[in-house]
């Protein structure tokens, strides 16, 4: 299945990869140039920037040269900082680290917030242990707290640290809490799309900035969703031949080879 890179997602990915290195903003014309390198036209960039501004992720800010531009909001910086922990963390998860439980109750009159809570917890990588009880590895608790506070959902939720004591084996329980087959499929799709890209770069000696920027931005835009879909469970809870490690290795290989060269495309533009 062909990958879908939306203009809004690519803009967020661009700021996440390169937009926090200075406190300044990116000019609108520069955003159009940088997104044009991955096939996004100018009107799509402008409309997507407007939507991100309405969502509070970008704020209008003049560049040092006085051009109209946009910078990350404080909420967006927190969101991206939290995301870095997932996107680039290669530490091996341990079963002994335990779990975080999110237990929520929303009044019927505010049931739209119940839907928002479920949606957001799912996007944070939580699985469903029971109605109103969601579970994730304990290391996600700080990011979960930041997210729920930012969305004003924290009054409806209690967070707990937990240990699974039974009665089913934890591996069997985890297979109920998450759709592991669907997650594995996402890893395989990433490998199909970006594994050949890494192999092509490994066969080259040069790293032209424009090509490096294009391939890195597209790989990061695809990869950054996966650590949220996949809670990165300990190996003993995963099926045999789990593809997560292989897809992470491909992404980190592309990151090591292309990220800094891609930065030169931005600064030398």
Question: What is the C-alpha separation between 55 and 263, in angstroms, rounded?
Answer: 27
More confident residue, 92 or 160: 160
Q: Please answer whether residues 259 and 51 qualify as being in contact, where contact means their C-beta atoms are separated by less than 8 angstroms.
A: no
Q: Is the pLDDT of residue 250 over 80?
A: yes
Closest CA to 71 of 24, 137, 2: 24
Q: Is the peptide bond before 167 cis (omega within 30 degrees of 0)?
A: yes
Structure token pair of residue 199: 């192999």
Closest CA to 232 of 129, 84, 87: 87
What's the pLDDT tens digit per position in 29-51? 999 999 999 999 999 999 999 99
Model confidence, pTM: 0.86
What's the pLDDT tens digit per position in 120-134? 899 899 999 988 899
Give the number of other CB atoms < 10 A from CB of residue 208. 12
Q: Is the pLDDT of residue 188 over 60?
A: yes
Question: What is the C-alpha separation between 55 and 76, in angstroms, rounded?
Answer: 10
Q: What are the phi and psi torsion angles at 57 (to 5°)?
A: -90, -30
Q: Mean pLDDT for the chain?
A: 90
Q: Is the pLDDT of residue 204 over 70?
A: yes
Q: What burial letters (b/e) apply to 211-220, b meaning 16+ CB within 10 Å? A: bbbbbbbbbb
| H, E, C per residue of the chain | CCCCCCHHHHHHHHHHHHCCCCCCCEEHHHHHHHHHCCCCCHHHHHHHHHHHHHCCCEEECCCCCCCCEEEECHHHHHHHHHHHHHHCCCCCCCHHHCEEEEEECCCHHHHHHHHHHHHHHHHCCCEEEECCEEEEEHHHHHHHHHHHHHCCCHHHEEEEEECCCCCCCHHHHHHHHCCHHHHHHHHHHHHHHHHHHHHHHHCCCCCCHHHHHHHHHHHHHHHCCHHHHCCCCCHHHCCCCCCHHHHHHHHHHHHHHHHHHHHHHHHCC
More confident residue, 85 or 204: 204
Which residues have C-beta within 8 Å of that of residue 254, sequence separation ≥ 6?
194, 197, 198, 201, 215, 216, 219
Question: What is the C-alpha separation between 138 and 87, in angstroms, rounded?
Answer: 17
More confident residue, 38 or 108: 38
Mean per-residue pLDDT, 82-87: 86
Q: What is the pLDDT of residue 167?
A: 87
Q: Please answer whether residues 162 and 108 qualify as being in contact, where contact means their C-beta atoms are separated by less than 8 angstroms.
A: no
- Percent of residues, the chain, with pLDDT higher than 90: 59
Q: What is the pLDDT of residue 2?
A: 47
Question: What is the C-alpha separation between 46 and 41, in angstroms, rounded?
Answer: 9
Query: What sign results for the dihedral spanned by CA atoms 53, 267, 4, 39?
Result: positive
What's the pLDDT tens digit per position in 209-242? 999 999 999 999 999 989 889 998 999 999 999 9
Q: What is the pLDDT of residue 1?
A: 40
Q: What is the pLDDT of residue 155?
A: 86
Mean per-residue pLDDT, 136-149: 90
Q: Is the pLDDT of residue 23 over 70?
A: no
């Amino acid at each position: 299945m062909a990958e879908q890179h939306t203009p809004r997602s690519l803009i967020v990915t661009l700021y996440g990869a390169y937009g926090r290195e200075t406190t300044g903003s990116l000019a609108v014309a520069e955003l159009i140039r940088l997104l044009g390198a991955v096939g996004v036209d100018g009107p799509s960039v402008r409309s997507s920037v407007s939507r991100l501004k309405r969502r509070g992720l970008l704020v209008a800010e003049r560049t040092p040269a006085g051009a109209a531009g946009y910078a990350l909001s404080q909420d967006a910086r927190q969101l991206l900082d939290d995301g870095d922990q997932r996107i680039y963390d290669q530490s091996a998860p341990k079963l002994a680290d335990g779990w975080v439980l999110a237990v929520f109750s929303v009044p019927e009159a505010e049931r739209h917030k119940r839907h928002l809570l479920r949606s957001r917890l799912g996007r944070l990588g939580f699985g469903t242990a029971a109605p109103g009880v969601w579970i994730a590895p304990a290391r996600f608790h700080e990011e979960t707290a930041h997210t729920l506070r930012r969305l004003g959902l924290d009054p409806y939720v209690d967070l707990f640290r937990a240990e699974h004591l039974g009665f089913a084996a934890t591996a069997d329980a985890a297979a109920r809490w998450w759709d592991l087959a669907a997650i594995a499929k996402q890893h395989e799709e990433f490998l199909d799309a970006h594994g050949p890209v890494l192999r092509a770069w490994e066969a080259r000696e040069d790293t032209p900035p424009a090509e490096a920027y294009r391939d890195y931005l597209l790989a990061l835009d695809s990869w950054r969703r996966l650590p949220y879909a996949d809670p990165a469970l300990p190996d003993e809870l995963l099926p045999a031949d789990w593809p997560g490690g292989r897809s992470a290795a491909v992404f980190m290989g592309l990151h090591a080879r292309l990220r800094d060269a891609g930065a030169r495309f931005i600064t030398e533009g």
